[in-house]
């Protein structure tokens, strides 16, 4: 090889390296990375609930035929009411263990399709309703290695299909709405709260040709009332007295945001919890224009909404502030990250929710940074390679990753010759804060110990280590409630930023301690297990679980 040829080859190689490094840098700058955790868990993850033992209870529906996961020990389920298979030897629920990245089949007895639920104060999952023989049932899963579903027939007064639940300050759950149910009920029931309570707001927002008010967005306000958004309107409900205490203005544009237009919503992080005057803001993003569902059935797939509405629900005269997302999206999930940012993930750019009605997957999540100035809040993240359309899900894990699964816009499992094949995989999205490059900034919690119990309004000593230099003015402590997630909405999701008192003190080499005050009431934070983080310059520690009680 001539000297000249060799030189040019080396040059080529260097340029190529430069390009590679450069493109890697560009990709990193876009934010976040993806990991395939499981190619197939055998079922499609339509509903997710993480429990305090780091297991994720996953379930789909029982009435569409076999899944790709067998029940253990050659077991089969015989259900004469089942619509597809009355003798079914496959599972429709699974437990995923985050730490070991393993899964096992669970056995759910009746149909849990399009249902709702919440973790209870003691950490149990209580799930409500579904379809057909499951529509009035209550089911329980305990956090334990060998625990399976327990079923309580007729635990509900009304059938609940596409309802939204929320954990309440007194430890009950409220179950709101559902198909043809313009009312709510409670679990558990007492003598005075055993029936259903009418909510005319749900019939007023029901558009009979396309509903558009199912899976309403429900957030517990800091005054103990419930913010309920359905279709394009919102109220504040005193559920104990059945009184609408506030009616919010219609969201600008008037387009619907709930199923089957399916946008999503979060309660933004609650701060200054000691102030006695805590402000609460709700963010709603995406959805599909009115009639998208009807048009998609006729083959016209309208572009999804690209707007978010943000409203301070505690204001005396609240008003919506509209912002524009970089990508239109329907059927996206909104996930509160430990540092208070919101991840908008999954979904499609055209069509509506329902069988076969979505087109054009949105593979890139978008980060929303609520404390940035308007105009610099959104940041497009690196894309996945897997489309997550109708019936996809996402939740925050204790380690700060976002678990992503599901997607099955078909009446059965369909793996070939369809636009969005049924997805049985689980992925993890790691936001930039998990990059190895920032590990020097990452706190590690030393105390409290995981699964500690903490009371309300309590002084809590938090000790953490940090390899690099601490910036004491950029430390916060946050608590995130693990949500029940389905149909692009995370029920009972909330994040609290705890107030610190006094200085952060050095307590040994690279070990620090600080005092925080736990939330003062169940209105701020219902009793439950929370993921608990120390956040330093936007970089969260690995979380621990604390039980607020």
Ligand X SMILES: *[C@@H]1O[C@H](CO)[C@@H](O)[C@H](O)[C@H]1NC(C)=O
**Interface residues toward ligand X, by CB under 6 A:** 40, 68, 198, 415, 424, 471, 473-474
* Cβ nearer to ligand X, comparing 474 with 506: 474
- Distance from chain centroid for Cα 499: 25
Least separation in angstroms between residue 472's CB and ligand X is 8
Which residues are paired to 461 by β-bridges? Answer: 515
Q: Calculate the alpha carbon distances from 97 to 51, 55, 259 in Å.
A: 10, 4, 30
Least separation in angstroms between residue 157's CB and ligand X is 12
* Cβ nearer to ligand X, comparing 86 with 198: 198
Q: Calculate the alpha carbon distances from 499 to 17, 232, 341, 456 in Å.
A: 48, 35, 18, 13
The residue to which tokens 């909510």 are assigned? 199
Report the sign of the C-alpha dihedral through residues 486, 492, 497, 500, in that order.
Answer: negative
* Cβ nearer to ligand X, comparing 39 with 298: 39
Residues across the chain:
549
Least separation in angstroms between residue 523's CB and ligand X is 27
The residue to which tokens 């600008």 are assigned? 252
* Cβ nearer to ligand X, comparing 392 with 492: 392
Phi, psi of 193 (to 5 degrees): -125, 40
* Cβ nearer to ligand X, comparing 119 with 441: 441
* Cβ nearer to ligand X, comparing 242 with 455: 242
Q: Calculate the alpha carbon distances from 107 to 25, 58, 127, 148, 527 in Å.
A: 46, 11, 14, 7, 29
Least separation in angstroms between residue 526's CB and ligand X is 27
Closest CA to 276 of 207, 355, 231, 222: 222
* Cβ nearer to ligand X, comparing 154 with 473: 473
Least separation in angstroms between residue 182's CB and ligand X is 7
Least separation in angstroms between residue 345's CB and ligand X is 22
Q: Calculate the alpha carbon distances from 544 to 95, 99, 107, 145, 343 in Å.
A: 20, 13, 29, 19, 21
Least separation in angstroms between residue 41's CB and ligand X is 10
Helix, strand or coil for residue 473? helix
* Cβ nearer to ligand X, comparing 158 with 283: 158
CA–CA separation, 227 and 248 (whole Å)? 9
Least separation in angstroms between residue 408's CB and ligand X is 11
CB-based contacts of 190-193 (< 8 A; 24+ apart in sequence): none
* Cβ nearer to ligand X, comparing 199 with 311: 199
- Distance from chain centroid for Cα 289: 23
Give the CB-side neighbour count of residue 317, counting CA atoms within 13 A: 0
Least separation in angstroms between residue 549's CB and ligand X is 32
- What does DSSP assign to residue 378? E
Least separation in angstroms between residue 504's CB and ligand X is 12
Helix, strand or coil for residue 21? helix
* Cβ nearer to ligand X, comparing 81 with 198: 198
């Amino acid at each position: 090889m001539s000297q000249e040829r060799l030189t040019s080859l080396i040059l080529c190689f260097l340029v190529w390296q430069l390009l590679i490094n450069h493109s890697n840098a560009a990709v990193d700058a876009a934010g976040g990375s993806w990991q395939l955790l499981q190619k197939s868990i055998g079922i499609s993850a339509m509903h997710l609930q993480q429990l305090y033992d780091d297991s994720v209870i996953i379930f789909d529906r029982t009435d569409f035929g076999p899944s790709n996961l067998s029940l253990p020990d050659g077991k089969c389920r015989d259900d004469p009411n089942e619509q597809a298979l009355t003798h079914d030897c496959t599972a429709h629920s699974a437990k995923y263990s985050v730490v070991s990245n393993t899964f096992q089949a669970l056995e759910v007895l009746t149909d849990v399709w399009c249902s709702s639920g919440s973790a209870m104060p003691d950490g149990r999952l209580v799930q409500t309703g579904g379809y057909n023989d499951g529509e009035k049932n209550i089911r329980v899963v305990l956090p334990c290695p060998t625990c399976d579903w327990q079923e309580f027939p007729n635990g509900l007064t009304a059938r609940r299909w596409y309802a939204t639940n929320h954990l309440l300050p007194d430890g009950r759950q409220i179950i709101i709405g559902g198909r043809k149910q313009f009312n709510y009920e409670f679990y558990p029931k007492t003598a005075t709260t055993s029936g259903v309570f009418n909510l005319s707001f749900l019939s007023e927002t029901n558009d009979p040709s396309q509903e558009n008010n199912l899976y309403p967005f429900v957030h517990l306000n800091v005054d103990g009332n419930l913010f309920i958004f359905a279709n394009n309107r919102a109220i504040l409900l005193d559920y104990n007295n059945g009184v609408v205490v506030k009616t919010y203005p219609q969201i600008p544009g008037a387009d619907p945001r709930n199923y089957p237009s399916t946008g999503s919503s979060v309660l933004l992080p609650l701060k200054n919890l000691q102030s006695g005057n805590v402000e609460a803001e709700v963010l709603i993003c995406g959805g599909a224009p009115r009639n998208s569902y009807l048009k998609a059935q006729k083959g016209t797939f309208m572009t999804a909404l690209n707007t978010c509405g943000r409203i301070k629900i505690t204001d005396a005269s609240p008003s919506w502030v509209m912002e524009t997302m970089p990508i239109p999206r329907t059927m996206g999930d909104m996930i509160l990250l430990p540092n208070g940012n919101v991840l908008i993930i999954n979904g499609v750019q055209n069509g509506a929710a329902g069988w076969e009605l979505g087109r054009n997957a949105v593979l890139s999540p978008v980060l929303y940074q609520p404390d940035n100035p308007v105009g610099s809040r959104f940041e497009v993240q690196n894309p996945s390679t897997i489309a997550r359309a109708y019936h996809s899900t996402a939740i925050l894990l204790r380690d700060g990753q976002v678990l992503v699964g599901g997607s099955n816009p078909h009446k059965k499992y369909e793996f070939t010759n369809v636009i969005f094949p049924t997805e049985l995989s689980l992925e993890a999205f790691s936001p930039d804060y998990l990059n190895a490059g920032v590990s020097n900034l990452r706190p590690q919690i030393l105390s409290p110990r995981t699964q500690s119990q903490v009371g309300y309004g309590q002084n809590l000593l938090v000790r953490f280590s940090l390899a690099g230099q601490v910036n004491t003015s950029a430390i916060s402590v946050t608590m995130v409630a693990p949500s029940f997630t389905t149909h692009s909405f995370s029920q009972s999701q909330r994040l609290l930023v705890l107030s610190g008192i006094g200085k952060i003190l050095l307590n040994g080499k690279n070990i620090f301690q600080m005092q925080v005050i736990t939330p003062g009431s169940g209105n701020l934070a219902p009793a439950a297990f929370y993921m608990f983080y120390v956040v330093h310059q936007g970089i969260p520690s690995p979380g621990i679980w604390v039980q607020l009680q």
